Copies of this chain bind each other. A is one copy, B any other.
């Protein structure tokens, strides 16, 4: 193997970190908690962005850009928002450096203190609703359907590449509506967009649901989420969509004149996904040899390794592949023809496995003469020898197969790892196994907190379209009308 990766069974967490670093997705930086997203990792993010951006635009949204810096006082305007976000954040207090009079280097100029400190946005509801105040006067200005691609900073104490970093990249949608119903519909529409993206593009099945009050976004009346199961059975929240009611409109005094000319507060939603999705993608599908990327998000979909002794052999193989490269390009399939002669084929095979390239072709002179090619698929690691003739269509079909295979594999794993627990004993037993627990809950925050304290499991969501059934809370025995999903989570 080119680069040693810790195996999942030995140390899942170390496996994840090895994979991210050694496959070239991201790296730690010299700045505490901040990562460098390397070109290979960023290429995945670009593919995610392109797909999501199109889905946002197809549902009527436009992009805009709001300031990075937020006056400190803005955070205090919405009571529960300040509790949630005005804590661990980066605070700008000065605007100038000067040469250190006592030596080399620079120091902060004590005379350049800001009158009011500025916070690097941890999320943008406050600055955006402060702006919307000037944009919204009448029902004719609504709905306002805006999205922003941006960086945000939250001063996390324990960080992990992609999953939890001080700075991360995300998109945040912020919409304004004239009725509560329209805002709720928007919240649900964007949850559906996220679920479709996760399942179709990331090949990652998700549960759609609502958060319990404890887990709601600070300032929301309702938080919807998609929850995915990682290979260790833990949950990962992959996207959230918030119904904010009139909370931010009231905090920033944003009113509109309705059709009858009467003033009302505006209704709001916000929704976001982040570079955290790359972490989810890795943990959902990859194995001990490296990444397993779904073809729809793989920066390189097909790697071609010619096996040759001299220039002449290479030239023959290159000429053989030339029309295929054009054909795949026309099919919008990204290909790398790797003729680097400083690395052996075996090294390259391991490297493309590590990088999760879905399909690998290899051709030596024996294949060349026989009119065949070796095809290896990354998801199952199966190899087969195929006729070179017609291989373009074979590859196109194979990429589709791989996309659906890894989705199905993840779905089977997920579905076989959701267990019902009907007593506290069953719950305690189930929580020691990987997976989710479906259990009745009495609906109180106190019970939720007690369960978390005892087991580290949280309520991941109350599934949408949940079956209604009479039951008893798994912890208190109080009556309950539906099951909720518990799990330990990232």
Interface residues of A (CB under 8 A from B): 27, 29-31, 34-39, 42-43, 45-46, 62-76, 82, 86-98, 104-106, 108, 117-120, 127, 130-131, 134, 140, 146, 150-151, 153, 155, 167, 169, 342
Contact = CB atoms under 8 A, between A and B. Distances in A.
Nearest to A105: B76
Nearest to A275: B65
Contacts of A35: 67
Contacts of A104: 76
A155 B97 contact: no
8 contacts: A27-B131, A29-B131, A31-B69, A42-B62, A42-B65, A87-B98, A90-B92, A91-B93
Contacts of A146: 39
A240 to B, nearest CB: 22
Given A42-B63, A105-B76, A31 B71 contact: yes
Contact of A87 (B75, B82, B96): B96
Nearest to A63: B42
Contacts of A134: 27
A118 to B, nearest CB: 7
B29 A67 contact: yes
Given A36-B66, A42-B63, A67-B34, A127 B29 contact: yes
Given A71-B31, A76-B105, A89 B93 contact: no
- Judged by DSSP, the binding face of A is mixed
B90 A30 contact: no
Interface hub of A35, A68, A105, A140 (most chain B Cβ within 10 A) = A68
Contacts of A153: 68-69
Residue with the greatest number of chain B CB neighbours at <10 A, chosen from A69, A86, A131, A169: A69
Contacts of A342: 140
Contacts of A69: 31, 34, 90, 153, 167
- Which 4 residue pairs of A and B lie closest in terms of their CB atoms, listed nearest first? A34-B67, A39-B62, A37-B65, A91-B94
Given A63-B42, A95-B155, A169-B65, A70 B120 contact: no
A153 B65 CA distance: 14
Contacts of A86: 97, 106
B88 A64 contact: no
A125 to B, nearest CB: 14
A64 B42 contact: yes
Given A76-B106, A90-B118, 17 more contacts: A29-B131, A30-B127, A30-B130, A38-B64, A39-B64, A46-B63, A67-B167, A68-B151, A72-B106, A75-B97, A86-B106, A87-B96, A87-B98, A88-B96, A97-B119, A108-B117, A120-B120
A43 B98 CA distance: 39
A22 B130 CA distance: 19
A248 to B, nearest CB: 15
Given A89-B97, A127-B30, A68 B167 contact: yes
Contacts of A65: 36-37, 42, 45, 169
Nearest to A85: B97
Given A68-B151, A97-B91, A167-B69, A43 B63 contact: yes
